Amino acid sequence: MVGAASKAFFQAISRSAVLKRLATRYGMAGERGFARRFIAGEDVEQVITAARAVEARGLAITLDYLGESVSSIAEAERATREYLDIIDRIVRAGIERNVSLKLSQLGVDHARELGARNLRRILEASAPHQFFVRIDMESSAYTDVTLDIFEEVWRDGLRNVGVVLQSALRRSPDDLRRVNAVGARIRLVKGAYLEPREVAWQRKTDVDAAYVQLAQALLREGTYPAFATHDPDMISAVKTYAGEYGVLRDRFEFQMLHGIRRDLQTSLAAEGYRVRVYIPFGREWFPYFMRRLGERPANVGFVIRGMLRDW
């Protein structure tokens, strides 16, 4: 229950306008801002520089332009145009063509069809350049609409897209079978959102057990699954089962967050596993940053030390 309390605390303060203004002022200030461990920058050029550094270490990348839950249709339109520009900038920069996005950023809260239409625009613009686009999974309130829109664009032939499933949600085994049935790519995460007990496992041991079961199903039946975790026990479980089941190391990948466990990223790559780093950027980084702190309280110590050092 400590994990749930931590998530609740940080999600509550993520909604504070005062704290957001203070964090925005100091968190990304200069090269030593306390949020820079987790956030690559606030603009495209900064994230491209960070992406090149990750690729130089022999790792793959995915870029995430932060800004979920937009407050107006105009903001959704602006976010969509930003993604179209990001696609063009990535092509010109010559870095790997892989991005992640959230449907709430594209306006699905205002109208389902708005979110679906904006996703289509991004997929259609990116497909000729061989981009892969991952739809991030948000809280359980978005699970149905996310999977429905994903299936809709998939049926229409837009196949450069995959989704995310969360082991914390009790429904995920059914959702995994649903996505596997069409042959799409799944990223498996534990889940960073505070969820009610009727829809989500509350104890870490239950979330972990669900993660292992879902990971095994993906290794048996999935299409190039991605296992997003920094938990050594989960990584070990994936490696062990893949070896026992005869899954080659180029048939799946591990994914980790920018700035977290770089030592583990490097060691896995040295063992011959594929490792992708999720690199977030943008001015609307505060809610994402709070979720990262809520997921792993040890991150708080790092931030406090960084703030004291800066001051």
Please list, in sequence order, all residues whose beta carbon lies within 8 angstroms of the beta carbon of residue 129, skipping any fewer than 6 positions away. 87, 91, 97
136 is catalytic: yes
Nearest-angstrom CA–CA distance, 299 and 207? 20
Q: Do the Cβ atoms of 95 and 61 come closer than 8 Å? A: yes
Q: Which of 37, 134, 187, 276 is catalytic?
A: 187
Active-site choice (36, 64, 109, 136) = 136
Tell me whether residue 263 is one of the annotated catalytic residues. Answer: no
Neighbours of 22 (CB within 10 A): 12
d(CA 234, CA 209) in angstroms, rounded, equals: 9
CA-nearest of 172, 156, 174 to 164 is 172
55/87 Cα distance (integer angstroms): 18
Q: Catalytic site residues? A: 136, 187
